[in-house]
Amino acid sequence: MTKPTPTGGTAPAPVTPPSVRVAVGVMAVLAVLLLANAALLGFGFDVAVDRIVEDADDVTRAEAEQFVLLSLVPYAVLGVVLAVAAVFVPRRQGWARWAGVSATGLLALLTVVSVLATGGVSIASLLLLVLSVAGVTSLLAGTTREWMAGAPG
């Protein structure tokens, strides 16, 4: 796609840098993973609560419900934020870039805390951590910053 120039010729449209494409792809994948996890946990809420109550000796049903909700809500919110950021970063909205940086950074932090709390690394936590780091570095890359700064209007 080309734009007309004042001299009547055409200038090539600015190309989206790879760092922006990677950031958008990573945020979209993370959004899908987090929202799918939240949806599955939401649909299986009672089963998850029952399993916690059965496996732990000193946990009440109310405590188990609170634990499942605290597991579900932050990841669902981060999934929504990442989905919105993935839609608006290609439109060169600066706030979307910072929302993506914040959400992926927070997800990386939550993943590290979760790994430390459980005492083990799972494939899912490793995937979330790698994708989060890729998202943060792509969103903070100089090429992304320059491309976002060149937004029209």
The whole-number pLDDT of residue 153 equals 45
* Distance in angstroms (rounded) separating the CA atoms of residues 114 and 32: 20
DSSP string computed for 99-148 = HHHHHHHHHHHHHHHHHHHHTS--HHHHHHHHHHHHHHHHHHSHHHHHHH
Domain extent, residue 106, equals 18-149
**Residue, of 150 and 12, whose pLDDT is higher:** 150
Confirm whether 77 is domain-assigned: yes
Sign of CA dihedral 32, 35, 38, 40: negative
Confirm whether 35 is domain-assigned: yes
SS3 29: helix
The enclosing H or E element of 36 equals helix 18-43
Confirm whether 59 is domain-assigned: yes
pLDDT digits (tens, 9 = 90+) for 38-86: 999 889 998 988 898 888 888 888 988 898 898 889 999 999 999 999 9
The whole-number pLDDT of residue 90 equals 95
Confirm whether 9 is domain-assigned: no
Confirm whether 40 is domain-assigned: yes
Confirm whether 112 is domain-assigned: yes
| Domains in the chain, number | 1
Count CB atoms within 10 A of the CB of residue 29.
16
Confirm whether 85 is domain-assigned: yes
CA angle, corner 104, sides to 101 and 109, nearest 5? Answer: 120
Packing angle, helices 123-140 and 94-118, rounded to 10: 150
The whole-number pLDDT of residue 12 equals 56
Instruction: Name the pTM for this structure.
Output: 0.83
* Distance in angstroms (rounded) separating the CA atoms of residues 150 and 153: 9
Confirm whether 11 is domain-assigned: no
61, 80 contact by CB (below 8 A): no
Tokens of 88: 């608006």
The whole-number pLDDT of residue 39 equals 93
Look over the chain and give the mean of its residue pLDDT values, rounded to a whole number. 89
Tokens of 151: 């937004």
